[in-house]
């Protein structure tokens, strides 16, 4: 999962891209990069860390030109290191070609082997680099035909923002796994993963890019074309975007994330009511489901835990060590609120179970009398191959344990999950969502080598 943004035809393109990445920080906290083009030269700055750490004022001043794209990374293919930071940029025949990619390709190994046999030399261990190699190899002189030629070779999840010379291109795969939207800022166009980025830069939300659509922007001109399979492919919007990843102030998949989470909480209350003194959330992503749960049952809603906002999201940290550390310092229970109380604790999901157990232990130490955990999605039992780091079943607690065993491990008085049917019932157009991580029903072919590091180690010289 990553955040991507592109700006065309604006004198402050790099500054706007930076602000947009700031709004999309929740989508990736490992690294960030921006590339701009001034009509003659491209300018690239990228660094590990948060957006505010990756750039300084001088960096932004050096990113000259009216065209820019940016990326903030949460690694799902390739290690978390400098060479894998996006945007990925090459100069081909004097023209910059750069890619910012959100999602995962599922035919990475096949494309890599073919391109390597044809003479391509790879600089990273990301699937995203494959797209650039395909672009420079296409024999099509016409940009539209060349893009279609390249993009029809890709399988899996890909929302893209490309910079090809002074063109900005936005793409969604035909199944629409990841979000991407279009905005207008005065006479400039903006592409972004989520509408919250448009809000920050005060751009007008125009619409979502449709699955299978290619938006080609040059200056004030915009053209739209579609991949040949875009009408026949079944939609597969990632439901976990609505449950956890997207910001609640964003509109994605023709709905508002806040309202979806609130409806999830209400449905959870209908399925698994409980008597308690009050409802509380594991902040922040559990807040809105907790509000819906409390409203549905007429229970008080209380803030029982305070979040340290200087600590990032724990789930998207690349190692278990960092996740465990951040859990300890991220949330702090309020003893005077919790002491001797029967709690309904709402969380958006349980992935590995270690962070949830730690939070329950903190609530017990703060004096909670009973803890009834309610989860606003079904048990996560299967890996994701479309851009979320659910790498294998060994790390998914629900894939290997019953709900009762998970409850015992977490030491809660009761544990209940929202049903799959209940989750889908609150979505607009429920048949248009991918729920493979819950159901094991994959809407697109999955890779033969099911590893985040499939381009590392196995090939000499590629190990990071």
**CB of 98 within 8 A of CB of 42?**
yes
Question: Is 2 a known active-site residue?
Answer: yes
Find the DSSP H helices in 63-153: 108-117, 128-137, 143-151
**CB of 23 within 8 A of CB of 199?**
yes
DSSP structural state of residue 24: T
Using alpha carbons, list the distances in angstroms from residue 1 to 59, 101, 316, 349, 417.
25, 9, 9, 17, 24
The residues, ordered by sequence, that sit 6+ positions from 127 with a Cβ below 8 Å of its Cβ are: 77, 78, 101, 104, 105, 108, 455
Cα–Cα dist 131/22, whole Å: 25
Cα–Cα dist 185/74, whole Å: 28
Strand, coil or helix: 330: helix
Cα–Cα dist 276/257, whole Å: 27
- Residue 321 in tokens: 């060590």
Residue 101's closest CA among 177, 168, 1? 1
Point out the residues that are catalytic.
2
């Amino acid at each position: 999962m990553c955040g991507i943004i592109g700006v065309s035809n604006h004198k402050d393109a790099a500054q706007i891209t930076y602000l947009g990445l700031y709004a999309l920080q929740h989508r990736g906290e490992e690294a960030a990069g921006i590339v701009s083009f001034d009509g003659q030269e491209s300018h690239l700055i990228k660094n590990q860390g948060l957006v505010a750490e990756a750039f300084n004022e001088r960096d932004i001043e050096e990113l000259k030109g009216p065209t820019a794209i940016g990326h903030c990374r949460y690694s799902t293919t390739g290690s978390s290191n400098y060479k894998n930071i996006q945007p990925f940029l090459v100069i081909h025949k004097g023209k910059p070609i750069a890619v910012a990619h959100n999602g995962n390709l599922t035919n990475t190994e096949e494309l890599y082997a073919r391109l390597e046999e044809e003479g391509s030399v790879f600089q990273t261990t990301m699937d995203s680099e494959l797209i650039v190699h395909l672009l420079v190899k296409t024999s099509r002189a016409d940009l539209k035909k060349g893009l279609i030629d390249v993009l029809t070779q890709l399988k899996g999840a890909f929302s893209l923002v490309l910079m090809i010379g002074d063109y900005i291109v936005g793409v969604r795969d035909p199944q629409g796994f990841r979000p991407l939207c279009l905005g207008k800022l005065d006479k400039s166009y903006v592409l972004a993963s989520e509408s919250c980025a448009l809000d920050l830069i005060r751009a007008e939300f125009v619409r979502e890019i449709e699955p299978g659509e290619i938006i080609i922007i040059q200056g004030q001109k915009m053209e739209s074309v579609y991949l040949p399979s875009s009408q026949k492919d079944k939609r597969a919007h990632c439901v976990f975007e609505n449950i956890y990843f997207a910001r609640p102030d964003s509109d994605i998949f023709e709905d508002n994330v806040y309202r979806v989470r609130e409806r999830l909480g209400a449905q959870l209350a209908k399925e698994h009511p409980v008597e308690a003194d009050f409802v509380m959330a594991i902040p922040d992503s559990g807040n809105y489901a907790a509000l819906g749960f409390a409203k549905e049952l007429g229970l008080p809603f209380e803030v029982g835990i305070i979040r340290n906002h200087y600590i990032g999201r724990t789930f998207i940290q690349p190692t278990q060590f960092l996740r465990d550390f951040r859990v300890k310092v991220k949330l702090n229970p309020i003893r005077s609120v919790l002491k001797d109380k029967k709690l309904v604790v709402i969380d958006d999901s349980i992935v590995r179970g270690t962070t949830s157990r730690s939070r329950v232990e903190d609530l017990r130490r703060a004096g909670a009398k009973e803890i009834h955990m309610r989860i606003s999605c079904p048990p996560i039992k299967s890996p994701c191959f479309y851009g979320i780091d659910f790498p294998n079943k060994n790390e998914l607690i629900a894939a290997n344990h019953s709900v009762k065993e998970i409850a015992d491990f977490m030491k809660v008085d009761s544990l209940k999950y929202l049903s799959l049917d209940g989750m889908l019932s609150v979505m607009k157009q429920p048949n248009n969502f991918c729920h493979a991580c819950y159901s094991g029903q994959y809407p697109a072919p999955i890779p033969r080598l099911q590893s985040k590091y499939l381009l590392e180690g196995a090939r000499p010289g590629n190990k990071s």
